Each structure stands twice: as C-alpha cells, then as structure tokens.
Amino acid sequence: MTEVVESPTEGELARLHIHDRHTALGLDTDDLVGMYRTILLARELDKRIWALNRQGRAAFVVSGQGHEGAQVGAAWAIRAGKDKVFPYYRDLALMLTLGMTPTEVMAGVFARADDPNTGGRQMPNHWGSRRLGVITGSSPIATQLPHASGLAFAQQIEGSDGVSLAFFGEGATARGDWHEALNFAGIHRLPVVFVCENNGYAISVPIAKESAVENVADRAHGYGCTGLIVDGNDPLDVYEAVQGAVQRAAAGEGPSLVEAKTYRYLAHTSDDDDRTYRSAEEVEAWRKKDPLQRMHQYLIEQRLLPHAREEEIIAEVKGLVEEATRVAEAMAEPAPETAYTKVFARPLAPLVGAPPGRGDDPDAGAVAARAAAVSVDTYAEAGGEVVDKNVIAAVNGVLRELLAGDERVMILGEDVGPRGGVFRATDGLIAEFGDQRVVDTPLAESSIVGIAIGLALGGRLPIAEIQFADFIHAAFDQLVSEAARIHYRSNGDFHVPMVVRAPWGGGVHGALYHSQSIEASYSHIPGLKVVVPSTPADVVGLLREAVLDPDPVMVLEHKKTYRLITGPVPTSTDWRVPIGLADVARPGSDATIVTYGLHRHLAVEAAESLSEAGEGEVEVIDLRTISPLDRETVLESVARTGRCLVVHEDNISFGVGAEVAALVAEEAFYDLDAPVRRLATPDVPNFPFAGSLEGEMLIGADDIAAAARILLAV
C-alpha cells in the first residue's frame, strides 16, 4: 500500500516545529546543522552557477533550486561506502551531501579537464564518481533505473546489505525503463530505493498531462513495492522515509518508491523559459514552502543554531562558492587530443578516423594474442585435442564452462531457464547453476540489457540473451546511450564488461521479425564491439574472449548455422579467438571474398566450385568481428589478389559491405584490377515468410559463384 505522510499546513508549521522531531529519527545537532549548511551551500552554489550562465561564462546549466530539501534529506540516509547512488541531472544538493566539493561541481560547469564526473565530456550535472559510489549518468531520462535494479541484484546475490538508490523526476515515470526497472525489482525483492523528486513538470508538461493518477507512489503496489508520499520540501520528512526504505531494503524486505513532492523555482535549464507554461504567482506560492527557510526555522525554534554560528556558516558558504568559482574557472580545458581517448576500456585497434598519433594504443595483451592466434585446423595438426560439435552444442558447452569457471558469470533473458532457450542454447544450465545464475526475465529487452549493465557495474559478468536479434531494437537506448558510452562519458571511471548474445539471420522461414540482420546498425556505435562467429570453434573462442573483455560485446550467431554447421572444437578451456581478428577460411590468389556468418560457408562452397571448374582460386576472408574491423587482413588479401567481392545477408545499402568497399577503395585502390563489388540482399525487409518469396531473396553459393565469376572476368 501507499503510505501518505501528510504535509503540515502553514498554520500548523510553527506548532509542530516546537516539538523535537529529530531525536526520534536518530539525528543530533550536528546532523541538523549539517543539513542546513548543505542546503544553503547548494542554494548559493546554484545561484552562482545560474549567474555565470547569464554572464556568458557558463554555456549551459541546470538548476536544482527548490529540490534541496528532498535531496539532502534523502542523501543523509545513504550509507557512505556501502550504498550505490544513481542520480539525475538536477541532483546538485545530493552530490554535495555525498562528498563532491563545490570546486569539483564548478569544474563540471566550466567543462574542465579535472571535472571528476566526465572530464568535460558531458554537460554539467551529469554526475558520476566511483570514489563516492555514484554511478555515471546520462541525459536520457529513466535509463539509469534498470541499472539500479541490476546493481541491486548484484548486491543481493553477493549477500551484502548494500542498497542501490535511484533518483529521478516524475517525467521519467512515463518511460518504459521506469516500468521495467520497478517490475524487475519487485519480482526479485531487490534492495533498491526509487526516489521520485516530483516537481510537477516534465519541462513544460504538467503532471495532469503526464500521468492518469495524481501521485506517482500510487503505482508502487502494482510493482510489489512499498510506496511513500512525503513533503519534499521538508528534509526531515524525506530523511525519515528514505532511511526507513534503506533499512527495509538492507534487511531483505524489498524495494520502495518514495515520492517527494517538491518544486523547481527556476526554468528547466538555462535554455528554457518557464514563463511560457507557469505563472509567477504559482512559483511564489511554492517559494513560501522553501526547504532552506523551513530548515532554518526548525533550527531556530529548537534553539540549535546560535546567531554567531549561523553567521559563520553563511560566511563559510560564501567563501566556498567564491573559491570554487575562481579555482575552477582557472583550470585547464581538456587537451584536444584527449577527445579520441577512452572510447574502449580495452582498445583492440587504432581508432578509425583519428588523426595520426591520436587515440589510445591497442592493448598490448590483445596485440600479443592476435600475433599468437592459430586456426583450429593448425591447432589440431599440432596435436591439440578437438571434438566435433555443431554450433548450438558449442554455445551450450561454452556457456556451461563459463558459468562453472567463474561465479561472477550470469545468464539472463527470456526463456533461458527451464525451457533452455528457444534454440536450446541454455538447456540444462538452470538445473546445474540455479536461478540466480541463469535468470528468466520478463519479455522486456530494454530491461534485459539495462539490468545486465547494472550487474556489470556491480562486479558481475552478465551474458544477456536476446531471443531473436529482431527484438533487440527495444534495447537500443540501453545499448547505444548507456553501455557503449559509459566508459567514454565517465572519462574512464567506469566500464561495462557485458555480453549480449542474439541469434540473427534468415533462411529459417522466420519472416520479417525473426530474420533480421542487425550487425551494421550496432557496428556503427563507438564503444560497442560486435562479433559474428560462424563455426563451432569460433563461437567458443569468441564467447570466452567476450566474457572476459571489459567492454560491452555483442555476439551475433546466425541461427541457420546452429544445427547445420558442424566442426572441430578444441577441448582445452585455453582456446581463444581474439576479438578483431579475421580468418582466412580459404586461401586463394585471384580474388578475395570478404564475408561473415552463414555466408562464410557458402562462400567457401562457391570458391571450391570455381576452383574445380578451373575458373580461378578465390580467397575467402571470414571477418568474424565486424567492429573493430580487421583492416589489415582484408587489405593484405586484396593487395595480393587484386579483386574484392563483399558478401552479406544484410541489405545492401549502408551495410558492412559499404564499409569494406570504402576501406579497400581508400587504402588499396592502386592494387585493384577491378572495381570492388557487393553481393547483398536488396533493400527489402528481411525476409518474407512464403517459401517462394524468401527463396527469391536469399543469397546462396551459386549466387556467390556467379558474382565472383563476373569479377574474375574483368
């Protein structure tokens, strides 16, 4: 049920404040004076930041004036070193309470290199600090909420009494991520507290047009959460509610949703004009409930703030704001060349497109592994033990081995539990490892990926399975705005060691929504690695590498290969396939076919038929990794053969073929004996259901041979 903590009326305030409210809450004089000082510091710092913007010295700012009581009251209940915090962009007072200094805040306002949140990479107020237990945040609203549930899940699994707390405005409750985060938290009784700072407006849209119910916390019951509504302008009310929620969560009593009713006094941001959607009279009415004045009044009535001490605090705060402004404005801006750094926690190749000498050097261990890598055939010829498996058996086997070898590894997704996945990739794993290691989730892809991000931030190694690649687009925001950007946006303070597995591709009568090729869309995203194994040995080797990689890795498995393709797999758990290394699937001298996925096998078949007919020796390059692309292997091959055909199942426009063709044209133009050609699916949605329609669209070995024959004739 939702508990409403009634706010006192103006006439009741003085009478209520005569009585000691704080002692029963476990707060002493130092706490109360500290709360007042922090609220005052936040207010004065916020006012200075707003003034800096109006003076043209700060490009963009976000105000939290009016929210300070809710933020400081909640933050006072957070246990430093134990709890994890997911703030949103209005949480200046929250951050000051947690230990961020005014100078550090100002460094973000001026976008200085020493900004501890982002190093000048994000707008001000995009908070994050591993030192303070504050998880990096972004601009899209509500995306941090699944992360909070995921990290709380990690806390629950490890058996700690740590709690995750997520802060957001009521506008975020319109997002799907809000629903999915609370739903997952309620299902698993997670130690998480959701704090809604309800100021009545999502930019300009009032609550009546945001929600069908007046109170956000009224929805708590539907998610199995405890719901509380408190006066957000009364720090003691907020503290009481959040402290209780933290205690319940730490004791294993599940999640809470605390709605703090408050108000922002200024516009949404420095680029907003709030006069267009609310009246001056409304703002003034709320200013009479100012949390700063109410906290001050309580201290005076309780005789806890002597005049001398008050004057001392005011002078101290003024000095801190002045010093923070002076010091931060004088700080150095980020060096221009650092814009190319920290895209990946483990760079595998030079940054494409960066000026010479810019960007991070490739990881030395990755370079060494690449140099030492051998094919599975070479491995077997050297005496390595191998066993034949099909692709799906290889997937299942390596997942079992990864779970057994590292307790941090988890699998989560739709139907991965007793059902064993629709393709049986996780068959038997829940019986062996339990439902906290193999987790059936709601049918909510954004939640699956968002929870996995939180688990990764909490020290786990999650493998998120998307049942069909076609359904991953619901998680686009989590993958693109969050997972791929977390390392870069936090200036290297955080990273996301997460794997997302997804079966992709056509040829199985899956029609339009079980046949899509998604690799080009996600390979375009900096910070995300995309691998496409096509043999049993490559599936095993690349999955092992992906799980141990500190960056998010998407592993795409062509579903038609699952039971069609069989091959040798090394039995040693030391077998690895480096991410970013292509494979010469068939050597040749007259032309190069660059491909991946199922079409590796079809291209080899086509090349063999051409050789048998005496029409030429075609080399087949299986990319295996789309991003980062193995440019060296492709260019070396094309330089030898003089001809290049790129084959893929995805639509022809703006696909991987276009990227490979551009690479060859830019770097190997004078080695070419013929124009680069592409063979790909026409720009028709992949794939129609009827056999006659699907068959018309699919690219087979005969199609590849015909395209290569034309190229060889030039």
* Residues assigned a catalytic role: 514
Beta bridge mates, 527: none
Q: What angle do CA 228, 200, 78 make, to 5 degrees?
A: 45
Cβ neighbours of residue 125 closer than 8 Å, sequence gap 6 or more: 61, 62, 89, 90, 91, 92, 108
b/e map 95-127, b = 16+ CB within 10 Å: bbbbebbbbbbbbbbbbbebbbbbbbbbbbbbb
Burial label, 336 (beta-carbon count in 10 A; 0-12, 13-18, 19+): exposed
* The token pair that represents 329 in the structure block: 């404005």
Give the separation between CA 93 and CA 317, rounded to whole angstroms. 13
Cβ contact 113:120 at 8 Å = yes
Strands 618-622 and 583-586, bridge-based pairing: antiparallel
Q: Provide the 8-state DSSP code for 158.
A: H
Token pair 């069909």 in the structure block, residue: 468
CA torsion angle for 104, 107, 112, 113 (degrees, to 10)?
0
b/e map 59-82, b = 16+ CB within 10 Å: eebbbbbbbbbbbbbbbbbbeeee
Q: How many Cα neighbours within 13 Å face the side chain of 608?
A: 9
Q: What angle do CA 598, 369, 577 make, to 5 degrees?
A: 20
The amino acid that residue 419 corresponds to is: R
Give the separation between CA 661 and CA 659, rounded to whole angstroms. 5
Give the separation between CA 127 and CA 88, rounded to whole angstroms. 7
* The token pair that represents 315 in the structure block: 């002078």
Cβ neighbours of residue 376 closer than 8 Å, sequence gap 6 or more: 386, 535, 537, 567, 568, 569, 570
